[in-house]
Amino acid sequence: MFNLGFTELLIILAVALVLFGAKRIPEVAKSLGQAMNAFKSGLKEVSCDTEAAKTEVKKPPEEPKA
Domain boundaries, the chain: 22-50
Q: Under a CB-based contact definition with an 8 Å cutoff, are residues 25 and 16 in contact?
A: yes
Q: Under a CB-based contact definition with an 8 Å cutoff, are residues 25 and 17 in contact?
A: yes
3-state class percentages of the chain: helix first, strand second, coil last, to nearest 5: 70, 0, 30
Per-residue pLDDT of 8-57, as tens digits, reads 999 998 998 898 888 888 898 899 999 999 999 998 888 887 877 777 66
Instruction: Write down the pLDDT at residue 57.
Output: 60
Instruction: Write down the pLDDT at residue 60.
Output: 65
Q: How many CA within 13 A on the CB side of residue 31? A: 4
